[in-house]
Amino acid sequence: MIKIDADKFLNTQYTQNNNAHIIKQKYLINGNEPLLIFESSQKITALAKSLEFTEYHLFTIEAKTDWNEIFSLCEGMSLFSQKLIIYLNLPDSALGTSITEKLSILDTLIHEDIILIFTYPRSAYPLEKLKWFKDFFADNSLIINCQPPTREQLPQWVTQRQNRLGLKLEHEAILSLCYHYEGNLLALNQILQQIQLLFGEKPVSKMQLENILFDAAHFTSTHFVDAALSGSLKRAFHIAKQLQDEEFEIIILLRQLQSELMQLIKIKSQHPPADLRVIFDNLNIWKNRRPLYTQTLQRLNFVDIAKAIEMLSEIEIKAKTIVSDSLWKDLLDIVILLSNKPHLPKSF
């Protein structure tokens, strides 16, 4: 089993001469980034086609899937049959024994003239410890991770894309693209292609892009909570506006932010103060969230956190009892409190 990030896979150049050595019998494209999933699948298909895999079959795995049809495809091949690519879209849920048992049977039927391409709309990381997964993907397999780039990784992603397209974007132009299209790689890829048509290989500045960019960023509640905890006012306001425009349920934001603040209160309440690593372990704080927690704890005192929790409770009561247009404004008042900034930046 070999694991690779989608960007690395997509940026690897293969030649006609080495495709036979590169192609795998089983692929698992996992993650929730549509553009990377599509492009990874297209690249695998192109590699396979160069080796005369010309017959394609697609199955969506669900309760009513006819597995006998899949098995028959593998068993019914003759000397004169075309080489097969079988696409199997796995469900967005835990893979129960009803599926894993069928996969074990399928594993006994495939041969060198069959390629299996699985897509799984979750991270495969939790599956990697399971015996059936280790056995199925043990040999001649490639696991392609299609997770969206983080905010910090996005400028590098844009830089790699512009290199592939032959663009010459100035640094400020790249940052502007990231601001307008974070969390929406499909739209970001489309605008890069549009820029290629408009400017070709000419240098492109931020000012030149102003009339063609629009705010197509897509955010989740976690993006908002992280921005609020980190004290990033401009980012938190941007995310809140996008979520409000999408009619996102504000109660979800209130409760998620409240949950995080309650954890911070527990840590601040430790007497005497203990080693943060020990506290994080005791509270089962995920390792990837510990830097954010550490930064927030250093910036905020107990009183500020407690006040924010009180304000969140008041907003939730208001949301449940009256129709109010001020709920989002009230939420942003909490963001300002958590930022430790006495007033808004001029851009607001």
Tell me the per-residue pLDDT of 233-256, one tens digit each, with 9 for 90 and over: 999 999 999 999 999 999 999 999
State how many domains the chain has. Answer: 3
Determine, yes or no, domain membership for 215. no
The answer to whether 279 and 337 are in contact (CB under 8 A) is: no
The answer to whether 106 and 70 are in contact (CB under 8 A) is: yes
| Same domain (yes/no): 75, 159 | no
| Same domain (yes/no): 140, 7 | yes
Determine, yes or no, domain membership for 140. yes
| Same domain (yes/no): 161, 252 | no
| Same domain (yes/no): 232, 198 | no
Determine, yes or no, domain membership for 114. yes
| Same domain (yes/no): 294, 322 | yes
Determine, yes or no, domain membership for 244. yes
| Same domain (yes/no): 9, 125 | yes
- Has residue 20 got a pLDDT over 70? no
What local confidence, expressed as pLDDT, does residue 324 receive?
A: 77
Instruction: Show the 3-state SS of the chain.
Output: CEEEEHHHHHHCCCCCCCHHHHCCCEEEEECCCHHHHHHHHHHHHHHHHCCCEEEEEEEECCCCCCHHHHHHHHHCCCCCCCEEEEEEECCCCCCCHHHHHHHHHHHHHCCCCEEEEEEECCCCHHHHHCHHHHHHCCCCEEEEECCCCCCCCHHHHHHHHHHHHCCEECHHHHHHHHHHHCCCHHHHHHHHHHHHHHHCCCEECHHHHCCCCCCCCCCCHHHHHHHHHHCCHHHHHHHHHHHHHCCCCHHHHHHHHHHHHHHHHHHHCCCCCCCHHHHHHHCCCCHHHHHHHHHHHHHCCHHHHHHHHHHHHHHHHHHHHCCCCCHHHHHHHHHHHHHCCCCCCCCC
- Give burial (CB, 10 Å; 0-12/13-18/19+) of 249: exposed
Determine, yes or no, domain membership for 214. no
> What predicted TM-score, i.e. pTM, was given to this entire model?
0.83
d(CA 249, CA 259): 16
What local confidence, expressed as pLDDT, does residue 206 receive?
A: 96
| Same domain (yes/no): 170, 225 | no
- Give pLDDT tens digits for 143-182: 999 999 999 999 999 999 999 999 999 999 999 999 999 9
| Same domain (yes/no): 139, 229 | no
- Band (pLDDT 50/70/90 cuts) for residue 93 is confident
Residue 41 sits in a domain whose CATH number is 3.40.50.300
| Same domain (yes/no): 204, 106 | no
d(CA 153, CA 13): 22
d(CA 219, CA 274): 35
Average pLDDT over residues 68-73: 93
| Same domain (yes/no): 133, 174 | no
Which range of residues forms the domain containing residue 329? 221-339
Averaged pLDDT score across all residues of the chain: 91
Residue 197 sits in a domain whose CATH number is 1.10.8.60
| Same domain (yes/no): 19, 126 | yes
d(CA 90, CA 35): 17
Determine, yes or no, domain membership for 348. no
| Same domain (yes/no): 165, 258 | no
Lowest mean pLDDT among 5-14, 15-24, 183-192, 198-207: 15-24
Q: What angle do CA 10, 14, 18 make, to 5 degrees?
A: 145
Determine, yes or no, domain membership for 344. no
